[in-house]
Amino acid sequence: MSNSAIAVSGLRKTYGDKVVLDGIDLDVRAGTVFSLLGPNGAGKTTTVNVLSTLAKADGGSVRVAGHDIATEAKAVRAAIGVTGQFAAVDELLTGYENLQLMVDLHGVSDEDGKRTVAELLERFDLVEAAKKPASTYSGGMRRKLDLAMTLIGNPQIIFLDEPTTGLDPRSRRTMWSIIRDLVADGVTIFLTTQYLEEADQLADRIAVLDQGRLVAQGTPDDLKRQIPGTHVRLRFTDVSQLDAAARLFPDTTRDDEALTLRVPSDGGTRSLRALLERLDEYSLSAEEFSVHTPDLDDVFLALTGHATEVVAK
């Protein structure tokens, strides 16, 4: 237990007569990244809100940084930082002023505060932007500023609620590298995401949340063993072509009705060329050819037998 940053057992949360979290058990080791993966409406934000003491649980027990959220909320709050799904940045203030506000809130001394703010601006590449109001920032800059503000309290455990949703690929990668640096510094990260790739890239352990229940938990490799990996999908015009192609490649999965064949592949140009040459060699031609990278839908289909359901907000 001493190595546990977050320990959750039988957590329940209801809003009115709607059960939002229906008995959640999880354990997050200190110094690791734990990712809660789920579609919109699954209960990710609710989980973050309860674990970070922003909302009250209706059942079960939760310890964060060794403290009970129900009886030691203050100690929990002192140990954590939360970067919400909707940035807590004050639009009217400049980046610098937003950070300075956090310095004042945490009662950091003037000198330490100035140094910390300067370091954070440098680290998050916000030195230029610091003089401008946050309303002029891009989504990625706003997320970085929000996280920088969270770091001023020196939290041991950081909750990141969908930190990259809506960001362009470049800003997403920047955020990933910031998260990796934080973990290297010994911080524990509780990250929610709708992206399988993100959880795969960052997390030591992933839990899959579906309508308030965890449907799977394990390392990224554990999960990937349960879902189809990257593959090429070929569609043929008739069954004889499909038959012939299925004999050419190992470990394929076929759908006779759709006349499609799923061939495992890394999706790289070299293996794609080899695959096409092989087909050509046997005078087979596919009607349709697509490279498919597994996403959240594949995870849900494989783990629950149903597609992701978007719950009305």
Ligand X SMILES: Nc1ncnc2c1ncn2[C@@H]1O[C@H](COP(=O)(O)OP(=O)(O)O)[C@@H](O)[C@H]1O
Longest dimension (CA), the chain: 77
CB of 9 to ligand X, least distance (A): 19
Bridge-partner residues for 292, per DSSP?
231
CB of 210 to ligand X, least distance (A): 10
Total binding residues toward ligand X, as defined by CB under 6 A: 12
CB 39 within 8 A of CB 67: no
From residue 212, alpha-carbon distances to 20, 119, 198, 244 in Å are 5, 40, 21, 45
Nearer to ligand X, 19 or 276 (CB): 19
Nearer to ligand X, 38 or 95 (CB): 38
Which of the residues 253 through 312 are near ligand X (CB under 6 A)?
Answer: 311
CB of 193 to Mg ion, least distance (A): 10
Which of the residues 143 through 172 are near ligand X (CB under 6 A)?
Answer: none
Nearer to ligand X, 96 or 300 (CB): 300
The amino acid at residue 33 is V
Phi, psi (5° rounding) for residue 104? -65, -45
Only one residue has tokens 């649980």, namely 57
Give residue 164's Cα distance to chain centre. 8
CB of 46 to ligand X, least distance (A): 3
Buried b vs exposed e over 156-192: b needs ≥16 C-beta within 10 Å?
bbbbbbbbbbebeeebbebbeebbeebbeeebbbbbb
Nearer to ligand X, 20 or 158 (CB): 20
CB of 307 to ligand X, least distance (A): 16
Interacting residues toward Mg ion by CB under 5 A: 44-45, 85
Q: Is 46 in the site for ligand X (CB under 6 A)?
A: yes
> Which one of Mg ion, ligand X, none interacts with residue 42, CB within 5 to 8 A by kind?
ligand X
Distance (Å, whole) CA 144 – CA 122:
11
Nearer to Mg ion, 45 or 211 (CB): 45
Give residue 279's Cα distance to chain centre. 38
Nearer to ligand X, 18 or 74 (CB): 18
Secondary structure class of 63 (helix, strand, coil): strand
Which of the residues 6 through 45 are near ligand X (CB under 6 A)?
Answer: 15, 20, 38, 40-45
CB of 248 to Mg ion, least distance (A): 45
Residues that bind ligand X (CB under 6 A): 15, 20, 38, 40-46, 311, 313
